[in-house]
Amino acid sequence: MAFGEFDLIDTYFTHRWPKRDDVVKGVGDDAAILTLPSDSELIIATDTMVSGVHFDEQMPARAVGHKVAAVNLSDLAAMGAEPAWLSLALTLPEMDQEWLEGFSHGLREICDYYDCHLIGGDTTKGPLTLTVTAHGFVPQGTALRRDGAKPGDWIYVSGSIGDAGLALAAQQRKVQISDSHYRRVLERLYFPSPRVALGQALRDIASSAIDISDGLKADLGHILQASNVGARVDVDELPLSLALTESVTAEDAIRYALHSGDDYELCFTVPESRRGVFDTVLARHPAKPTCIGRITSEANKLRLERNEEPWQGADEKGGYDHFG
Amino acid sequence: MAFGEFDLIDTYFTHRWPKRDDVVKGVGDDAAILTLPSDSELIIATDTMVSGVHFDEQMPARAVGHKVAAVNLSDLAAMGAEPAWLSLALTLPEMDQEWLEGFSHGLREICDYYDCHLIGGDTTKGPLTLTVTAHGFVPQGTALRRDGAKPGDWIYVSGSIGDAGLALAAQQRKVQISDSHYRRVLERLYFPSPRVALGQALRDIASSAIDISDGLKADLGHILQASNVGARVDVDELPLSLALTESVTAEDAIRYALHSGDDYELCFTVPESRRGVFDTVLARHPAKPTCIGRITSEANKLRLERNEEPWQGADEKGGYDHFG
């Protein structure tokens, strides 16, 4: 096919994409040249999606384009960062113009929404694999980290969790759900909303934060490990969607919320002393966070409870680990 | 295998790696936190290597680790940037500990040499693919670009070119060469040296620069296009190694130098007014650049000459294009 790498970038990834003033030079040189606001720190995240592993042929190209940016912006959100620039490494088996049309459309939509400038990357031939590196910034010293949780801090989760896992299970015919519920949860699996505004609002409020990509149990576990603390979580407080609670048993809904990933909500902790400010900020955010428990001093110990008794439905299943 | 993604990072990519003071938080959170020197601009490059496309099973894992960093550092060098941080997206078909040992060794060696801190990335399961995003910086406004060449500027190439192409041809048994020459050129194919020090020395001297990844003809062509100028190049001035000139005919040696990529030398232009300073700087650099021609006002026209006559060996073969 007489369609070159340079044409590809020119056709699909250049025109009518959002431009930012802090990009001195974007696509078209050996590397991009950027300026950073003064007194700020740079935040950098990288995530890869591999065809056949993170998505399959059922997933529309537009959703692939949205999601590969969304998962990276979700990492920036978990740091409290303002997103700015994306690099894209795109490995494609062949020049599939229809797929590229959809993919670049999905990617451009989310770049438009968050004012992200695609500053460069690489296109190569090979098995379909996408890597995005996302860059953002925070005022110096304000980044949210995993290692700041203290005993007594309250634990919150934004939005609802377990929906993306339900969508995947339904798609793999492991569970039967209604068409309308399926459409709703599939939207969450395919077009996750990174909690960018919430993350930034939490900068001076939360003591720690993480995005839920591998499941609440695994990701809260990362906070506990990094902060050297424990947690008590009341399983009846987990924020569950109607789609989830109406599709599976009450106990299974909790299991989806705990163990399935890909929801890209934020899990974060708030010290007692910041709860007043937090409630004020909260009122402005649509992804209203729910308090699910409290940090304890028992290092690395996550207690799942119901009415202050151990939850009987707990099992040992952890989060998603690619080489587990 | 009871070997997880987190163990992988911990075992191969954390301990005894170079650490930098400007890394507030590297591996181990949702994203890395970095500080930039004041009055500087950030330079970002991304390159991917795919197994079966950019390298094959013959290539030692240590060379893969070296090269995926080197090609990115070469992009930073072509901008005149000082390298600082690397992100790595590593997609692996299986947990091959021997390969990982070699790969991480090669990557760590080059990180050590250039004082680069591996700040994060992603490890996923899938066909062997590596994407590195390299970050560096330049004092504000000093980045070397492709679009600054002016008629009358002198054209230079560092080191020697065509060696990596010869190594590939020999490996594919398209040409027969002596064992000692093969060892020498294979080293260049497997362990290219990004011209980082030279690039930084050229900041206030060169009017444009690019690294030679796709072949001199194609990459000088990018300078001509971006700068809207032309060039005259004397093919007898091309810097060729003894390994190249002793292995193929004189005309073929020129063709290797013009058309084969992967040498990662710098091609750059120097205005007449900066030649005095340039010669002073030159004396300090081992990768002594050779003057091969001059920029003209004929937009996009590359004239290959010998004794000021058109070179008869020219053909239409361009550089490497993945989807050509």
Angstrom distance (rounded) from CA B223 to CA B295:
10
Across chain A, mean pLDDT equals 92
Q: A91 vs B5: CB contact, 8 Å cut-off?
A: no
**CB < 8 Å from B in window 131-150 of A:** 131, 133-135, 138, 140, 143, 145-147
Chain A residues in contact with B95 by the CB 8 A cut-off are 323
Burial class (CB in 10 A: 0-12, 13-18, 19+), B60: middle
Give chain B positions within 8 Å (CB) of A8: 323
Higher pLDDT pick, B267 / A95:
B267
Are the Cβ atoms of A76 and B131 closer than 8 angstroms? no
* Residues of chain B neighbouring A324 (CB-CB closer than 8 A): 2, 4-5
On the question of pLDDT at B117 being above 80, the answer is yes
Average of per-residue pLDDT across B62-79: 98
Q: Hey, what are A237's tokens?
A: 């407080």
**B287 CB contacts (<8 Å, ≥6 apart)?**
B158, B159, B193, B195, B198, B265
Q: How high is the pLDDT of residue B295?
A: 98
Tell me the per-residue pLDDT of A34-50, one tens digit each, with 9 for 90 and over.
Answer: 999 989 999 999 999 99
**In chain B, pLDDT over 70 holds for what percent of residues?**
94
Closest CA to A92 of A133, A119, A130, A59: A130
Question: In this predicted model, what pLDDT tens digit does every residue of A197-217 receive, in sequence order?
Answer: 999 999 999 999 999 999 999
Is A228 within 8 Å of chain B by CB?
Answer: no
B308 near B296, Cβ under 8 Å? no
Minimum CA–CA partner of A90 in chain B: B48
Which of B4, B25, B146 lies nearest to residue A29, judging by beta carbons?
Answer: B146
Q: Are strands B230-234 and B302-306 parallel, antiparallel or unpaired?
A: parallel
**Cα-only R_g, chain A:** 20
Residue keyed to tokens 């506990």: A224
The pLDDT score that the predictor gives to residue A115 is 96
User: CB A236: neighbour CB atoms within 10 A?
Assistant: 13
CA-based nearest distance A173→chain B, Å = 24
Q: Select from A8, A51, A81 the Cβ nearest to the Cβ of B323.
A: A8
Look at B1 and B123; give whichever has higher pLDDT. Answer: B123
With beta carbons under 8 A apart, name residues in chain A contacting B218: none
Q: Select from A25, A124, A147 the Cβ nearest to the Cβ of B50.
A: A124
| pLDDT tens-digit map of B206-233 | 999 999 999 999 999 999 999 999 999 9
Domain regions of chain B by residue span: 5-139, 154-310
Contact B266, B157 (CB under 8 A): yes
pLDDT tens for A244-287 read 999 999 999 999 999 999 999 999 999 999 999 998 887 778 88
Task: Name the helix (H) or strand (E) containing A303.
Answer: strand A302-306
- Mean pLDDT along residues B48-73: 96
Name the B residues in 163-202 with CB < 8 Å from any A CB. Answer: none
Q: Which residues in chain B (57-76) have CB-CB distances under 8 A to chain A?
A: 75-76
Say if domain A154-310 classifies as CATH 3.30.420.40: no
Burial A74-113 (b: 16+ CB within 10 A, else e): bbbbbbbbbbbbbbbbbbbeebeeebbebbbebbbebbeb
Tell me what percent of the residues of chain A surpass a pLDDT of 90. Answer: 85
Alpha helices in A140-260 (DSSP H): 163-171, 179-190, 196-201, 216-227, 242-245, 250-259
- Three-state SS for B198-242 is HHHHCCCCCCEEEECCCCHHHHHHHHHHHHCCEEEEEHHHCCCCH
The pLDDT confidence band at residue B323, using thresholds 50, 70 and 90, is very low
Is B318's pLDDT higher than 50? no
Average pLDDT, whole number, for chain B?
92
Amino acid at A31: A
* pLDDT at B6 (0 to 100): 66
**Which residues on chain B are in Cβ contact (under 8 Å) with A70?**
none
Output A72 or A317, whichever has higher pLDDT.
A72
Name which of A45, A126, A145 is nearest B129 (Cβ-Cβ). Answer: A126
* pLDDT at res. B70: 98
What phi and psi, each to the nearest 5 degrees, are found at residue A123? -120, 130
Arithmetic mean of pLDDT, B151-171: 97
- Whether residue A99 has pLDDT greater than 60: yes
Identical topology for domains B5-139 and B154-310: no
> Residue B286 has what pLDDT?
82
- Structure confidence by residue, pLDDT tens digits, A110-162: 999 999 999 999 999 999 999 999 999 999 999 999 999 999 999 999 999 99
pLDDT at B2 over 50: no
Q: How far is A187 from chain B (nearest CA, A)?
A: 24
pLDDT value at B262 more than 50 = yes
Q: Is A46's CB within 8 Å of B133's CB?
A: yes
Chain A CB contacts of B46 under 8 Å are 87-89, 120-122, 133
In this structure, the strands spanning A230-234 and A302-306 are: parallel
At residue B161 the predicted structure's pLDDT band, cuts being 50, 70 and 90, is very high
Report percent pLDDT > 90 for chain B.
85
Binding residues of B: 30, 46-47, 54, 75, 121-122, 146, 211, 213-214, 262, 320
**Residue A323: pLDDT over 80:** no
Would you say residue A319 has pLDDT above 80? no
> Tens of pLDDT along B138-158?
999 999 999 999 999 999 999
Residues of chain B found within 8 Å of residue A88, distances taken between Cβ atoms: 46
Confidence at residue A6, expressed as pLDDT on a 0 to 100 scale: 66
The CATH code belonging to domain B5-139 is 3.30.1330.10
Q: How far apart are CA B86 and CA B44, in angstroms?
A: 10
d(CA A106, CA B62): 37
Strands (E), B23-116: 23-25, 32-34, 40-50, 82-92
